[in-house]
Structure formats: C-alpha cells, structure tokens
Amino acid sequence: MARTNKRALGMRLQGKIAVITGAASGMGKAMAQMFAAEGAKLVLADISGDQDELAASLGDAAIAVYANVADEGDVQNMIALAEKTYGRIDILCNNAGFGGGMKMLHEQTTEAWDMVHGVNLRGVFFGMKYGVISMMKTGGGAIVNTTSASGMVGWKHHSIYGAAKAGVNQMTKTAALDYANHNIRVNAVAPGTIWTGLVPASKQFPAPPAGAPTLAGIPMNRWGLASEIAAAALFLASDEASYITGVILPVDGGYTIGFSGMGAENKGCS
C-alpha cells in the first residue's frame, strides 16, 4: 500500500490535540488557524476574550478558554479542559507573551520585572509542568515554546524581557533532556521582529509604520510574518520533527547570526 502523504493532503496534525496559549491574536492566532487547517483539534487560551470568536470561526475544530498563564490555577484548568474535552494533549504551544519593560536596566521597576517574568517565564513553567504531567499519562507529545531572538543576543532596553526569554531557552533544553525517555519532545521557536498586523494577500511585507524598528540588522531586509512563526511551530509540533528535541529555532531573517548590535530605537523584537 502506498504511504499516505499527509503533508500533501494538508493534514500533518490529523487526529492531534493541541493547546495554544496567547491564541487570540498575532502569532498565536496564526498557529491556531494553521494547526486547524492541518487537522488538529484545538484548545485556544487567552485573556482577551477574542479567543471565543476565533474558536467559533474554526467550527468544531476548536474550543476557547480564559487563561492567564501567570496564574497556576488557570493553567491547570486549561489542561484539565483539554483532557476532559479530548481525552489527552498531543501538542502544547506555550506562546503567550508580554513585551513590556522596554527601558534601561536602572529604570526598571520590580513591578515590571514581576509582570514580564510572570507571563514570559513563570507562564511557560506552568504550561510545561502541567503539560508534561498530562502527556506522561498518555504516552508523550510535543511542546513548542515561543521564545525570542532577544533571549539569544543582546538587544538594547530588553534587559528583563531578554532575561525571561533566555530562561525559556534554558528550560526548553533542560526539559528536552528530562523528558526524552517519556516520548516528550520540547523545542522552541525564537522570533525576531515580526509583523503581526494585516498583510496583503500577496504576502508582500508592508512598509513599516513611522517609529518602527529599522531593518538595518536583519540580513533578509524585512520583518517576519506571524504565519512564518506558525509554520515553524507547526513543523516542530508535527511528526516531521520526530527526531528533534531541545532546539531553539531562530525565525528572524538571519538577525541572530548577523547580529552587530542595534540602536535603542529598535524595540520591536518579539
């Protein structure tokens, strides 16, 4: 019998159950739409309320849940809802993020530190903790964390944000080691500067608005698209990446390999 080409059929996640945090907009929304198109059933988590509309637009492919990832109880409820509805979790995308605190280090406040790290680091910790507990009960799965290029190289005014994302990178690698024998793969996507607004149907990148980060440090000379981050997450979540774990995958137009230091005005790293 000929082998079914799931990629050609657009069904790389057929029969998979995926939980996506920060799903209501930007990169999370792009992941949700792409994963649904590839056959996944979804639990879409966010705090905005827009996750309800997104889930409705995807029909019976998705359900929505309110979840503040910095709240341990909310994350537990999110995972429990996925288990109750679908019986298991195959894929967890810890995508929710908060880009605040863009100041020089001596200007930062304890409140800013707590808020940025609460969502970007504490939230990923909770997601991974309860995600792996669930996956270990059902034979394994794949976790994809959204980190950032600013967790890999220095970026002016990103001291606390970059520290949080560097922490995600380290947790990703360590968890990959800890859970490999449980058939759980743990990887991360590290976006560079990503345009999350509307783009033309031609997918040509629009002109950056006034005050936007320059393209000087990006070898490919353009911003990335939310769909390009979603495509990377889809690959890492799919069986096509079955022998890949512990990877921090930059999706940044070559920014991190060509890094030469960027000006203080460049505050748009994801």
Is pLDDT at 88 greater than 90 in this prediction?
A: yes
The residue assigned the tokens 């990887």 is 187
Q: Give me the pLDDT at residue 103, please.
A: 87
Q: Give me the pLDDT at residue 162, please.
A: 93
Is pLDDT at 158 greater than 80 in this prediction?
A: yes
Q: How far apart are CA 199 and CA 213, in angstroms?
A: 17
Higher confidence at residue 3 or residue 229? 229
Tell which CATH architecture fits domain 12-251: 3-Layer(aba) Sandwich (3.40)
Q: Give pLDDT tens digits for 166-205.
A: 999 999 999 999 999 999 999 999 998 887 754 444 455 5
Q: How far apart are CA 187 and CA 246, in angstroms?
A: 5
Q: Give me the pLDDT at residue 85, please.
A: 98
Q: Give me the pLDDT at residue 264, please.
A: 36
pLDDT category of residue 214 using cuts at 50, 70 and 90: low
What average pLDDT score do residues 22-26 get? 96
Q: Where are the domains of the chain?
A: 12-251
Q: Give me the pLDDT at residue 261, please.
A: 46
Q: What stretches of the chain show up as alpha helix (H) in DSSP?
A: 6-9, 26-37, 50-57, 72-86, 110-117, 123-138, 159-179, 226-237
Residues of the chain above pLDDT 90, percent: 73
First to last CA, the chain: 45
Q: Give pLDDT tens digits for 49-58.
A: 999 999 999 9
Q: Give pLDDT tens digits for 115-157.
A: 999 999 999 999 999 999 999 999 999 999 999 998 998 878 8
> Please, which residues bridge with residue 19 across strands?
43, 92
Which residues form the catalytic set?
161
**Residue 107, φ and ψ in degrees, nearest 5:** -95, -5
Among the listed residues 85, 64, 63, 65, the one whose alpha carbon sits nearest the alpha carbon of residue 74: 65
Instruction: Kindly report the number of other CB atoms within 10 A of residue 136's CB atom.
Output: 14
Q: Give pLDDT tens digits for 54-77.
A: 999 999 999 999 999 999 999 999
Distance, CA of 175 to chain centre: 16
Q: Give pLDDT tens digits for 224-249.
A: 899 999 999 999 999 999 999 999 99
Rg (alpha carbons) of the chain, rounded to whole number = 18
What average pLDDT score do residues 78-95 get? 98
In one-letter notation, the amino acid at residue 178 is D
